[in-house]
Amino acid sequence: MKHFIDPLDLTLDEYDLLFRLADNIIESPVDFLDRAKGKLLASLFFEPSTRTRLSFEAAMNRLGGRVIGFSDANATSTTKGETLIDTINTVENYSDICAMRHFKEGAASLASKVVSTMPIINAGDGGHLHPTQTLADLITIRRHKGSFEKLNIGFCGDLKFGRTIHSLVRAINRYEDINFTFISPKELKMPDPFKSFLKKYDETESLVDAIPSLDILYMSRVQKERFVSSDEYERLKDFYILDPEKLSLAKDDMMILHPMPRVNEISPLVDKDSRAFYFEQMKMGMYGRMALILYLLELV
């Protein structure tokens, strides 16, 4: 049994298989309507979510499976002091596969160590990793760039707490000739453990300086909920705003990605630009999760 806790839990061949499977689903969704019939997904969200939770639930429903779960841990026995391990052991009695989001780094990994029949999917663990967002990101990039080789990828915003960024950097570093450009204020720099294994990277505070040479710009939200000091959040929240003026400095085929939600960091005036891929990215999240569920349930 396989889990998906860290983007490196799957090999490049396994990613290729998921990409092809997602392509097939996109091309012919009717062929998949009852692929997961009789299977149950537990959707456990200890932290707020819109796209991740709804796309997991849509994915399972579109495969003919069913979903149980919660989107508010305050309505569960967690409030009575139940441990995560007891919750997971309980859920394993009812479900075939489990997607979980938790505010603690390492929570999904801990869950994967206590189950014996139920694959665990990490839908975000604190400021650490978010591998299924990575799957959505990779599918979107592959469909428009054709491959992952020879790309200069800029990550802009909250690189310290951005789990989607930590995950994508880990995953895409396995391809050849990738350059990473980390664009952040010094308080929100990419943490050393996520940089130590990179072959090539640059760091800057200036989006304007970096944008002309980028093939992909991955924007991110400054994550209010992870700050200890609200003053520091207020000072940093609008550090970067991508607007048509800054975008005019970019290549004609630069892709703009954002895991969403956005606050102010991408002006809505950018939404209709042909380089804006963040709406497509959220759709790819559902197809990627459909492919992943089938793979982890050994239904492919």
**CA pair distance 189, 159, nearest whole angstrom:** 5
Q: Is there a catalytic annotation at residue 51?
A: yes
**CA pair distance 186, 144, nearest whole angstrom:** 32
Interface residues for ligand NCD in 98-127 (CB under 6 A)?
124
Question: Phi, psi (5° rounding) for residue 28?
Answer: -145, 70
What is the x/- site pattern for ligand NCD, positions 149-188, by CB under 6 A?
Answer: --------------xx------------------------
Residue type, 27: E
Q: Is there a catalytic annotation at residue 144?
A: no
223 contributes a contact to ligand NCD by CB under 6 A: yes
Q: Which is nearer to ligand NCD, 1 or 263 (CB)?
A: 263
CB of 285 to ligand NCD, least distance (A): 7
Determine contact, residues 95/66, Cβ cutoff 8 Å: no
Q: How far apart are the first and last CA of the chain?
A: 14
- CA atoms in the 13 A half-sphere facing the CB of 42: 22
Q: Which is nearer to ligand NCD, 103 or 175 (CB)?
A: 103
What is the x/- site pattern for ligand NCD, positions 40-59, by CB under 6 A?
Answer: -----------xx-------
> What H or E segment, with its residue span, contains residue 182?
strand 178-183
Determine contact, residues 181/211, Cβ cutoff 8 Å: no
Binding ligand NCD (rule: CB under 6 A), the pick from 65, 119, 259, 288 is 259
Burial-class residue 103 by CB neighbours within 10 Å (0-12, 13-18, 19+): middle
Binding piece for ligand NCD, criterion CB under 6 A, among 16-24, 67-75, 244-252, 258-266: 258-266
Burial 209-240 (b: 16+ CB within 10 A, else e): ebbeebbbbbbbbbbeeebeeeeeeeebbebb
CB of 28 to ligand NCD, least distance (A): 26
Residue (of 189, 169, 190, 224) closest to 47 by Cα position: 224
Q: Which is nearer to ligand NCD, 133 or 173 (CB)?
A: 133
CB of 220 to ligand NCD, least distance (A): 6
Those residues with Cβ within 8 angstroms of residue 112's Cβ, 6 or more apart along the chain or in another chain: 3, 5, 120
CA 126 from centroid of its chain's CA atoms = 12
CB of 107 to ligand NCD, least distance (A): 14
**CA pair distance 19, 244, nearest whole angstrom:** 32
Q: Determine if the peptide bond prior to 193 is cis (ω within 30°).
A: no
Q: Is there a catalytic annotation at residue 52?
A: yes
Q: Which is nearer to ligand NCD, 224 or 251 (CB)?
A: 224
Q: Is there a catalytic annotation at residue 221?
A: no
Q: Is there a catalytic annotation at residue 20?
A: no
DSSP three-state, residue 198: coil
Residue type, 56: F
Q: Which is nearer to ligand NCD, 51 or 237 (CB)?
A: 51
CB of 165 to ligand NCD, least distance (A): 9
Q: Which is nearer to ligand NCD, 31 or 271 (CB)?
A: 271
The single residue of 3, 35, 51, 166 carrying the catalytic annotation is 51
Residues of this chain that bind ligand NCD (CB under 6 A): 51-52, 124, 130, 133, 163-164, 221, 223, 259-261
The catalytic residues are 51-52, 80, 101, 130
